Amino acid sequence: MNDDAASTARAVEFWFDFGSNYSYLSMMRIEALAAARNVTIVWRPFLLGPVFRQLGFENSPFVLQKEKGAYVWKDMERQCRKYGIALTRPSTFPRAALLAMRIALLGANEPWIGAWCRRIMQLNFVDDRDIGSMDVVSDALDSVGLPVHSVIDAAQSDSNKLRLREQTELAINKGIFGAPTFFVGDEMFWGNDRLEDALDYCDAIAARH
């Protein structure tokens, strides 16, 4: 197997949105799990709102369907107990986090991407902070040791805004309908409970070569 094939076999694409509750569960687990398998994470922030609208939903199905929403938050409590992850149900759900998402895209290949994403998720799903707020985002950048003004300026550039729109369009074209979604090559896995399956698939591909 050549180096390119090997790197593909040992990589998982992680498609996520900061407003997504199940993305929160995966975000707090994926780095340790991937490192234990020697799997590279390819960070793919995208916007769920346009995906839902493409599917004919004006909001999250967890909001539009009352019974499903009630179930989901009970499920989140169980899952967070299972994983030892803190949870405070956000007073606003789902929260828009456009600037934070643009920063995630800007940093997708930077060493600080994991710390940034975990911080924003914790602010949303533990601290119940408005992650769409410039003040909250600025404080979050400072807390992870990033230069606030230069990062925000780069994230808000026309080229980076366009990249996030294009990445969201790519998600739609790949058939993504929710978050988190994982890809290993062309194989898609949807939902936090499929994270381990995606990593298992990495192992299976590597074993065949």
Which structural domains are found in the chain, ordered by start? 3-208 (3.40.30.10)
Out of 7, 20, 133, 157, the active site residue is 20
**What pLDDT, on the 0 to 100 scale, is given for residue 199?**
97
Q: Is 20 among the residues known to form the active site?
A: yes
- 8 A C-beta contact, residue 26 and residue 14: yes
Rounded CA separation 138/133 (Å): 9
Question: What's the pLDDT at 4?
Answer: 44
Q: 141 phi and psi, to 5 degrees?
A: -60, -45
The pLDDT assigned to 92 comes to 94
Look at the chain and count its residues.
209
| Residue 193 DSSP symbol | G
Angle value at C-alpha 107, between 103 and 110, nearest 5 degrees: 160
3-state SS class at 41? strand
Kindly give the confidence (pLDDT) of every residue in the chain, 209 residues in length, as a single tens digit, with 9 standing for 90 and above: 334 444 455 899 999 999 999 999 999 999 999 999 999 999 999 999 888 787 676 656 665 567 887 899 999 999 999 999 999 999 999 999 999 999 999 999 999 999 999 999 999 999 999 999 999 999 999 999 999 999 999 999 999 999 999 999 999 999 999 999 999 999 999 999 999 999 999 988 877 76
pLDDT score at 5: 42
Q: What does the alpha-carbon distance between residue 21 and residue 180 come to, in Å, rounded to a whole number? A: 9
**What is the reported pLDDT for 159?**
98
Distance between CA atoms of residues 135 and 148, nearest Å: 10
Query: Kind and range of the H or E element at 159?
Result: helix 158-173
